[in-house]
Structure 1
Amino acid sequence: MIFVVVHSKPISSKIGFRKDSVEQRQQLAVCSNVVDSSVKPELAEKSQSPIVDVHLTYMGSVEHCITGSMLISKLAVTVLTLPALVASAADCKLGPSEKCAIDSLPTPGDDGSILVYPGGSTRCAFDDYSDNTTTFESSSTYFFQVFPNQKQDKSKVLLYFQGGGACVDKDTCNFALQCQLGANSLITTTAKVDNSGIMDRGAVDNPFKDWNVVFLPYCTGDLFVGNTQLEASESAYNQALGNKQCLGQNRSMHLNGYNNAKAVLDWALENFPDPKQLAIGGYSAGSLGAQLWSAKVADMWKVEQKSTKFQVLADSYVGVFPEHKAAASSLVNFYGGCDVDLHFPESMAAECKAGTATATALVDALIKETPKSEWLFIDSTADRTQRKFYELVRLGIAGYPFTTLLDAGEFFGNLTQILDSHAQLTNVTRFNIDSEQHVWLKSAEYATATSVDGAVLGNVLSEWLGAPSTNASNPQVGQ
C-alpha cells in the first residue's frame, strides 16, 4: 500500500517510478500509523511498461507522518512505501522459508545489484521520522546490497562497508541533535544503496566489476561495532540550536552496527564460503569499521587455514585520534564494541574495556591475528573530514562547526606513524594524495587520482588486487 501525505491544500498528483531504479528500490520509509480514512489513494499501474504510473488523490488532512520523506516538485508530498512493496524484482526478504540464496536470487536491477532485507536483530539508529523543516530523515529498516558475479563465479568476494560519520558521546549520540542539524547531521540515519565509484559495475576500468560485492549500508553512527541502546537525552546545546520541533521526541538511539554487520557477514559466509580471494574494505567510517572487523572476518572464513588471499582496503580513515584526551578504545567501549566478538586477543579485549588502548594498538592487535593479510590505505595528506572528526572527539559538540582544525602537517605526521606501526606487522601499501579531499573510491574519477610521488590509483589498486600474496616486502606507495 502506498500513501501520499500532503501538508497543504488537497491536491492530486501523478508520480512516475522507474522499476528497479536505485531511488525506487532503496528503503524510503515505514509508516505504520498513517492508515487513515482521510487518505484515499487511487492506484493505476501499467504492468507492461518500465514506468509504473501511480495516481494518488489526497482528501482531508493528515498529521505529520514519521520517516522517509521525498519532496515531489515544490509540494510537501511524502511518498511512504511499506517494506513489503519496496521489494521489487531485485529484492529479497530473509525469513524462515526464504534464505535469499545467491544462486536463486532474482535478476539484479539496473545497477547490477539486489537488495536483501535481513530483518531479525538488524535496524538503524532511530525509529522512522521525517522533518520537513530541517530535511532530517530516519528509518529503522536495514538492508544490504549484493552485486553478484553474472557468471556465478564465487572465487572473488569484496565485503564493503559504507561511510557516514560517527557520534562520540551522549551529547552527539542523540536524536534531537541529528534532527536539529538536518542535512548537516553528524551521522547517516537511513540505509542507502550505492552504485558509484568501485560500486559502478558499468565502469570498464573498475577492478571489482567481476567480483561478488556485498555492500553494507551504515546508519548507526557507531563504526559498525555498536551493541547498545541509549535512552533519549537532550542537553543545553540542543536548547541553543533552534528547530524546537526536534526536541521532546523521546526517541532512543540504537547503536546496532555490530548486529547489522554480523547479519550481513553471516549471509555472505553461507553464500560465498570458499573464495580464493577475499577483501574487506570501506570508506570513511566504513574504513575503520572494516579494520575493526578484519580479524573476525578472517576467522569466519578461515583464511589462514584455507590459504585464502585476504586483503583489507581502507579508504580515508586511519585512527588519528586525540589520545591525550582519551584512548580510542574508550569510544569503542561507549558503543558497546568491547563486549562483542571482534576477535581481539584476550589482553586487548581487556584494554578495550578499560578504555586504555590507542587506535594504533587496537588495529595492530587485529593485524597480528592475520599476519598474512595485505592492506592498502588510501588517504589525502590533509583530509579535512578526518581532521574534523579529530576535533569532534577532542571538543565534542561544543566545537561545532569546527572551523579550526588539527594542523595538516601534524595530521599527516600522525597518520604516517600509525601506518609505520602497522607495516611492522604485515604487508602495507600506502597511497597518499596531496589534497584535503575525503574519500576517493566513491568518485567516478578515482582511477586517475595521483599520489604525491606520481603513482596512479587505478593502476595501484589493480596491481594490489592481482599481485601474489607475500610478506616479503612492505611497499610504501605515495609516501
Structure 2
Amino acid sequence: MGMRLRCLSWSAPVLSLSLLACGGGGEDDEGADEVGDTGDSEETGETGEEPPPNPFAEVVEQGLGDYVGTIDPSQIVEDGAATHYLFDPADGPMCLRGGDYWMSTRAGSHDPKDLLIYLQGGGACWSELCQAFETLGPPAVPDSGMLNRNLEDNPFADWNAVYVPYCDGSLFTGDVDIDDDDDGAIDRYHRGLIDLSVALDVALETFPEAERIVLAGSSAGSYGVHISDMLVRTMWLGAELIVVADSGVGIGKPGDSAFIPGLLEEWDSLRLIPDSCPDCVTDHITNLPSWQLSVDPNLRFVAISTYADSIIGGVFLGLGPGEYQAALEQELGKLAADHPGRYTRYLFDSSLHTTIAADSSVEGLPGITANFDQAYVGGVSVAQWLGQAITDDPAFSDQIE
C-alpha cells in the first residue's frame, strides 16, 4: 500500500511546567481554560486521583523538558499500518548537517496499553571523532529485529510501536549548533534533544493510555535511553517502564573521568544529568541508571552486550583487549547487585555489536551485528529473554556466558 498525505490537523500535547516538574497540577488553577490545560480527565484520570509525583522533576527543571509540546509536525503521511510525521528544520528538529527530521508510529493489534519506543543507533560525532548517521532516508519503520511484525519469536511483533530515527550524532541529548572552523557557518547541528522531544510528543498524542512501555535503544540509541528514559517517565507518569539497553550500556573509558563529561559538555547536554547526583557521570555513566532505579520504583533496566564489542569498545572508546569486558563486568555487576531483579544482564562472549536491530530473516551487517532471535547464552535468544522480561516469567534472570 502506498503512502498518502493526510491533511494536517495537529495539537501537540503541551504540558505545563508544573505538570512536567511535579507530576500534577498545582493548587493554583488560574488559567485552567488556556491552551495546554488538559482538564481532570488528562491530569488526574477518570477517578480524579492525582498522578504520582515525577521522580525526575529536577532534571526537567534543568532543561530536559524545554522542547516538550513546542513544535508541531509539518506533514503527516499515512503508510499502511504506519504513520510518518515530518518536521520543518526551520522549527528546530533536524539532522547533523541540517537535513529534515521525521519519526513514525505503527499501530499494533496487541493490548493498546502496551507500547514499544525504539531509538535507532548510528554512531556519534564530536570534535575528535565523527562517525555517525548524518541524514535520514525516506520515512519507513524497519521490519527487522524487535520491529519485525512477522518474526515468530518476537514478543513485540503485535505491539504498538514508535520508531525514533537517529541522525544528529549526539546520542539523543544534544542541544547546540557548532561552527568547527570558525568561518561563520554551522558545521554540526546537534539537535538530539529536540528530535527526541518531538518524537515523544507524537508518541504521547498517539498512545496516551500506555501502561506498559518498553523503551529500547541499540548502540547510540542504547546510550540515549539512559537520559531519554527520564523524559518518557515524565510523559507517562504512572506506566511501568522497562528500559532495554543494547550494546551501549554506559561504559566509557576506564580511568578517564574527563571523556564522557567532555562529550556531554560539547553537546550542551551535561545539564541533563541530575544535580543531586554528582557522581552520576564519572569515567562511565552507569551511576545514572543506578540513581534512576533508586528514585523510580516502576522502572526496570535490562542490559545486552558482548564482551568484546568491536564498535563500542574498539572504534569509539579505543580500548585494548579485555579492557571493555573488565569494565563491563565490574560496572554492570555492581548495578545488578545494588538493584536485584531490577537490573538484569544478557552478556555473551563475542565481538558482535547490537542484537535487537536484526534477525535471522532480515540480516543486519554479517560479522558485525548479532541476530535477535538466535540463541547465544544457555540456549536462550535475546528475543526469548525479553519475552520473559515483559511477562514476569519466573525463569527471567541474568543470562551470562
Q: TM-score, normalised by structure 1?
A: 0.61
Equivalent position SS for 1:143: strand
Corresponding residue number in structure 1 for 2:134: 189
SS at match of 1:359: coil
Is the aligned partner of 1:212 residue 2:160? yes
C-alpha contact 1:283 1:441 (8 A) present in aligned 2: yes
Structure 2 residue 71 is the aligned partner of structure 1 residue 157: no
- Select which of 387, 398, 401 maps to 1:476: 398
Match of 1:33 in 2: none
Task: Say yes or no: does 1:416 pair with 2:329.
Answer: yes
Confirm or deny that 1:98 pairs with 2:10.
yes
Aligned to 1:123: 94
Aligned residues: 321
In structure 1, give the amino acid aligned to 2:104: Q
Does the 8 A contact of 1:283 with 1:439 survive in 2?
Answer: yes
Q: 1:98 to 1:256 in 2, by over 3 A?
A: same
Once the 2 structures are TM-superposed, how far is the Cα of residue 296 of structure 1 from its aligned partner?
Answer: 2.4
Q: Measure the CA separation in 1 of the matches of 2:151 and 2:380.
A: 21
Equivalence for 1:462: 387
1:265 offset after TM fit, Å? Answer: 0.6
Query: Are the counterparts in 1 of residues 114 and 160 from structure 2 also a CA contact under 8 Å?
Result: yes
User: What's the % identity of the aligned pairs?
Assistant: 26
State the Cα distance separating 1:286 from its structure 2 match: 0.3
Amino acid at match of 1:123: M
Query: Aligned in 2, Cα 1:159/1:448: closer, same or farther, shift over 3 Å?
Result: closer
C-alpha distance 430-449 of structure 1, shift in aligned 2 (>3 A): farther
The one-character-per-residue Cα deviations of 1:200-232 (angstroms, maximum 9, x if unpaired) are 222233211111110110000000000001014
- The 1-side partners of 2:289 and 2:261 are apart by 11
1:277 and 2:212 correspond: yes
Shift, 1:106, TM fit: 6.6
Equivalent position of 1:48 in the other structure: none
CA–CA distance in structure 2, aligned partners of residues 147 and 385 of structure 1: 30
Q: Does the aligned pair in 1 maintain the 2:177–2:186 contact within 8 Å?
A: no
Structure 2 residue aligned with 1:316: 247
Deviation at 1:391, TM superposition (A): 3.4
Counterparts of 2:304 and 2:220 in 1: how far apart (Å)? 13
Superposed, which structure 2 residues align to 1:182-261 within 5 Å? 186-192=131-137, 193=140, 194-233=142-181, 250-261=185-196
* SS across alignment from 2:276: helix
Match of residue 444 from structure 1: 359
Instruction: Give the SS at the match of 1:166.
Output: strand
Change (3 A) 1:106 1:202: farther
Contact 2:244 2:302 in 1 (8 A): yes
Q: Give secondary structure in 2 for the equivalent of 1:430.
A: strand
1:414-433, Cα deviation, whole Å (9 max, x unpaired): 11222123221361221122
Q: Equivalent residue of 1:310, what SS? A: strand
Give me the whole-angstrom Cα distance separating, in 1, the residues matched to 2:197 and 2:274: 19
Give the residue type in structure 1 aligned to 2:299: S
Match of 1:172 among 129, 134, 158: 129
Query: What does residue 31 of structure 2 align with?
Result: none
Counterpart of 1:406, as a letter, is G
What letter is aligned with 2:263? Answer: L
Match of 2:339 among 408, 419, 425: 425
**1:330 lines up with 2:299 in the alignment:** no
Tell me: CA distance 1:419–1:197, structure 2 relative to 1, closer, same or farther (3 Å): same
RMSD: 2.9
Cα displacement string for residues 424-473 of structure 1 (whole angstroms, at most 9, x for unaligned residues)? 136122112221111111222234432343323222121111117x9xx9
Between the aligned partners of 1:150 and 1:107, the Cα distance in structure 2 is 17
Is 1:406 matched up with 2:328?
no
2:246 and 2:307 map into 1 onto residues whose CA distance is 13
Structure 1 equivalent of residue 100 of structure 2: 141
**Structure 2: distance between partners of 1:274 and 1:316:** 30
**Per-residue CA distance 1:233-254 (angstroms, 9 max, x = gap):** 29xxxxxxxxxxxxx9955211
Residue 282 of structure 1: SS of its match in structure 2? strand
- Give the match for residue 378 of structure 1: 304
Tell me: CA distance 1:356–1:314, structure 2 relative to 1, closer, same or farther (3 Å). closer
Task: Output the CA distance in 2 between the equivalents of 1:167 and 1:447.
Answer: 27
Q: Distance in 2 between matches of 1:92 and 1:230?
A: 35
Q: Distance in 2 between matches of 1:391 and 1:208?
A: 32
Note the residue ranges of structure 2 that are not aligned, 5 or more in a row: 14-75, 361-370
The alpha carbon displacement at 1:126 in A equals 0.6
Q: Distance in 2 between matches of 1:287 and 1:256?
A: 17
Cα offset for 1:313?
A: 0.7
SS of residue matched to 2:248: coil
- Tell me if 1:367 matches 2:293: yes
- Within 2, Cα distance between the matches of 1:92 and 1:420? 49
Shift of 1:107: 5.1
CA drift of 1:162 comes to 0.4
Task: Give, as a single letter, the amino acid of the residue that structure 1 aligns with 2:271.
Answer: D
Q: Which has the higher contact order (CA 8 A, sep 6+)?
A: 2
Q: Separation in 2 of the partners of 1:266 and 1:100?
A: 6
Q: Secondary structure at the match of 2:271?
A: coil
Segments ≥4 residues shifted beyond 6 Å: none
> CA 1:380/1:358 → structure 2, altered by over 3 Å: closer, same or farther?
closer
Counterparts in 2 of 1:274 and 1:421: CA distance versus 1, 3 Å: farther
Contact 2:78 2:84 (8 Å CA) reproduced: no
Question: 2:328 is matched by which residue type in structure 1?
Answer: L
Q: Do the aligned residues in 2 keep the contact of 1:428 with 1:474 (CA within 8 Å)? A: no
